Structure 1
Amino acid sequence: MAVPGLETILDGLSTAPPEYAAIVALETVASIAILAVSLALFARRRQTSYLFVTAAFSTLVIRSALGLLTVFGLLAIDSHHVLEHGLDVLLIGLLFLAVIVAQRSEYANPRSNS
């Protein structure tokens, strides 16, 4: 008995060039590694700006997942592009928030120069 959806995955793989799957797999591994480092830094610092940066890096992992779904034929290319551009906007917004929060924190608690 076949696993439901397995035919769809195999059909998607047969139409996508093998390089696409390799590139998206590499992107996924790199995105997860970046997110892991970001999570470790946030756990150590416990600052809101680090939380926003970690959330921004999590969008990279979501983008990778969308890429995998597209390569496997489970997500239409049009949907992939719309969702990916939405994640780009979210990533930029989260990074802007991180900078704003970090600046406000620095102004509220200036460090001495000595």
Structure 2
Amino acid sequence: MGYDAVSVGSLALPGVLVLAGAASLIVAGLAIAAFAQRRSRSYLLIALALVTLLAKTVAGGLAMGELLPTGTHHLVEHSLDGVMAVLLIAAVYFGRTTEPATGGGST
């Protein structure tokens, strides 16, 4: 009764984008910090994969602000999904094949 569907809907997307952007920034920052500490190819690839989440949020914001056409927005977001998948698969592959496993012993 007291809620106007248009005003609630018009606030929902910007709110979700702001929350997603903040969360993506935190997660990507933590991943970059982990890479800076570990300095391994797998950590770099995972950090880059998580940066794609931030890039998707930016693309959504640009589309919402009508700076990116809807068709281009969808192309960018789906392309970033593919990039993320490839980066994660590569991280697992390189983590299993090229980096030494840590064994029990000294910490």
Matches within 5 A, 1:30-109: 30-106=23-99, 109=100
Q: Offset of 1:76 from its aligned partner?
A: 1.3
Q: Distance in 1 between matches of 2:96 and 2:74?
A: 33
- State how far apart, in whole Å, the 1-side matches of 2:102 and 2:64 are: 49
TM-score normalized by structure 1?
A: 0.79
Structure 1 residues 112, 24: closer, same or farther in 2, change over 3 A? closer
Letter in 2 for 1:103: R
The 1:110/1:72 distance shift into structure 2, 3 A limit, reads closer
Whether 2:25 is the aligned partner of 1:29: answer no
What's 1:12 paired with?
A: none
- TM score, norm. by length of structure 2: 0.84
Q: Percent identity?
A: 30
| Structure 1 stretches lacking a partner, 5+ long | 1-15
SS at match of 2:61: helix
Is residue 2:10 matched to residue 1:17?
Answer: yes
Change over 3 Å in CA distance of 1:67–1:35 after alignment to 2: same
What CA RMSD, in Å, does the superposition of the two structures yield over aligned residues? 1.8
Shift of 1:105: 2.9
* Partners of 1:74 and 1:111 in 2: CA distance: 48
